[in-house]
Structure formats: structure tokens, C-alpha cells
Amino acid sequence: MPPAFQAMVVEALLFSSEGPLTAAKMREIVPDLTDGKIREIVNQLNEAYETSGRAFRIQEVAGGYQMFTLPEFAPYIEQLFQSRQKSKLSQKALETLAIIAYKQPITRQEIEDIRGVNSDGIIRTLLARGLITIAGRAEAPGSPFLYKTTKTFLEYFGLKSLKDLPKLKEIDELIAADEEIQERFGDHLLKEIHPEVLGMKENGGEYHNHEQEDESSE
């Protein structure tokens, strides 16, 4: 298969995929492709998009590749999909999700100890949305369920892996500099996920997250 046609096939696959498309899946469809060749094609396509002033780029997210529109077009796209606004997570759900993301795997009781309120309903909502999943049971009385985030969580926030979660000390700067993050998270969420609130300890001037896997899986 000629290289130019390979690039067209990769572009067509990414354009048609509803979610992140893995390199393995693309290799399955086009056996001539390799991981290195796919990365090369993605870089070439992104360069072509930038040169021609296109409104989208290909990003690596949740273990695969996906097309995304550029942030400056978000206000117009939101008007096209007004119903999507109704599906945004509530403040309480975001608070709970942040706690799980930074402390996973974590039990419901541990979540409630941090939030100070019952979290049954919110956990059910996050499970139903596919943003968290059951990661097993804790070695504690009653063997309560442990919860962790999923690939859907990574997709929702545009992360490649859990390693891309911002350090807690960076969140203030992110919110101050990014209006979209301000809208999505807000000041109250910052207080809920402050390092001391989450039980994290300072080491050498930095707060360190709970030990996590490289990537979250459903």
C-alpha cells in the first residue's frame, strides 16, 4: 500500500471512529502499519491540518488516537449540541470524581469521610456514566468495594493516562489561566481536592498523589 494512501486510510479511520482508536486496531485493519508509522502519519496529518488552517487536530488520548476540534471553536459547537449541556456533571459529582481520581482505589466510606456527606447516589451516577468502575474489594471489615476511574474518565478530560493528572499544586494556576477549567471545576472544587483534604503529605515542597497505575481501564 503506497504511503500516501496509508495516511488517507488512517485519516478515514480516525474520522469515522466514535472514540479513541488504538494503534493495535489500526494495525489489525491495515497490517502494513506499525506503531512508529502510525505516529509518523498522525504527525504529518496534524502538520497538514495546521498549515491549511483546519479546525481540528488528532490527539493521543486514553490509549488511542482521536480527532478533536480546537478549543477556540468550543462556544460554537456547544450551541450546536445544547442537549449536551444538560449531561454535564454536577459540582458534587465532580468533587467526588476528583477524590476518586487522586486517591484510587478508594472505598465509598473513604470518599464520604473526605466529603463529609453520603455519596451513594453520586457513586451510582458515576458508575452509570462509565466514569468509574469497581476495582475489587478492600481488605477491611465487610470487604467494601474499591472504586477507580475508567478509560471513559480519561476521554472525558482529554488525558492520555492518569500520569497526566495535574499535580494538586498546579490546579490553582490552571484555574486562574483557563476559563474553560474555571467553568468546569470552580473554586469550591479546589477546596474539596486540596492536598490536606485528600490526606496527601508534602515531600520536598511537593504534594504527591496516591500510587496509581499508569493507565485506567474499565
Please tell me the predicted confidence (pLDDT) of residue 93.
Answer: 86
Please tell me the predicted confidence (pLDDT) of residue 75.
Answer: 83
* Contact indicator for 213, 162 with CB cutoff of 8 Å: yes
Query: Domains of the chain (ranges plus CATH)?
Result: 3-74 (1.10.10.10), 88-207 (1.10.10.10)
Please tell me the predicted confidence (pLDDT) of residue 214.
Answer: 40
C-alpha cell at 169: 499544586
Q: What's the average pLDDT block by block, 10 residues per block, for the chain (218 residues)?
A: 91 90 94 94 96 95 90 83 60 86 90 86 88 90 90 83 69 51 50 49 43 42
Please tell me the predicted confidence (pLDDT) of residue 53.
Answer: 96
This prediction's pTM: 0.50
C-alpha cell at 127: 458508575
